[in-house]
Amino acid sequence: MLSTRFSGLIGDARVITCLLVITLLQLPAFVQDGYQPTVMITGSNRGIGFEFAQQYAAKGWRVIATARRHESATDLKGLQNQHPNLSIEQLDVTNETDIRELAVKYSQHPIDVLINNAGVIGPDTTLDDDFSAEEFSATLAINSFAPLRISQAFLGSVSASRQKKIVVITSGLGSIQVAPEVPHPGPFFRPLLL
């Protein structure tokens, strides 16, 4: 059963995300020979990432749940207390040292499903507003570059697994085509109202 944590999604993004979640969660818990699959989820401390961690842990998968700030991931720590097959790792997806150290730590461990979920909405800015290059760059670094870099860093572990799946989560808010149709589209893609 999917929780109500998806209530904040808008329009088509809700349907697409829910279909993706249902599809991923229908994967078998264990392969017949007792192999325990592993999933790694970035941005696991809340929202969809937390729901993935909760569902996969309940199915018996080994879950590597990442959070930018380990100390503030209280819900995730509670989930870890219920599921010893869940480990929490600190990972700032924009920090090359964090990425490299975590990739080395798991370099000898197959990761069946890598879910790039960490993301930000970014500044609430339109083209007719002032916005900083730093804010724009930070949004692109987290939402665009980080999934590529994480996928690259963990490619060996994913390749060594049985399922070999890399997933990148996004929403309609990041779509140039969908953004003008939603009530509060993502940053930098709203039409200029004259």
What are the structural domains, with CATH classification, of the chain?
Answer: 42-120+127-181 (3.40.50.720)
Average pLDDT taken over every residue of the chain:
80
Query: Looking at the predicted structure, is the pLDDT value of residue 12 above 60?
Result: no
Residue 135: the pLDDT is 84
3-class secondary-structure state, position 165: strand
Cα–Cα dist 155/106, whole Å:
11
Nearest of 31, 30, 33 to residue 85 by alpha carbon = 30
C-alpha to C-alpha distances, 40 to 12, 33, 62, 91, nearest whole angstrom:
26, 22, 9, 11
Q: Mean per-residue pLDDT for 137-156?
A: 93
Query: Confidence band (pLDDT; 50, 70, 90) for 26?
Result: low
Query: Confidence band (pLDDT; 50, 70, 90) for 11?
Result: very low
Query: Confidence band (pLDDT; 50, 70, 90) for 8?
Result: very low
Q: For the whole model, what pTM was predicted?
A: 0.76
Q: Who wins on pLDDT, 167 or 14?
A: 167
Of 28-32, 38-42, 147-151, the poorest mean pLDDT is in 28-32
Cα–Cα dist 164/113, whole Å:
6
164: left (phi over 0), alpha (psi -120 to 50) or beta: left
Query: Looking at the predicted structure, is the pLDDT value of residue 155 above 50?
Result: yes
Cβ atoms of 145 and 137 closer than 8 Å: no
Counting residues of the chain whose pLDDT is more than 70, the rounded percentage is 69
Query: Looking at the predicted structure, is the pLDDT value of residue 38 above 60?
Result: yes
Query: Looking at the predicted structure, is the pLDDT value of residue 74 above 70?
Result: yes
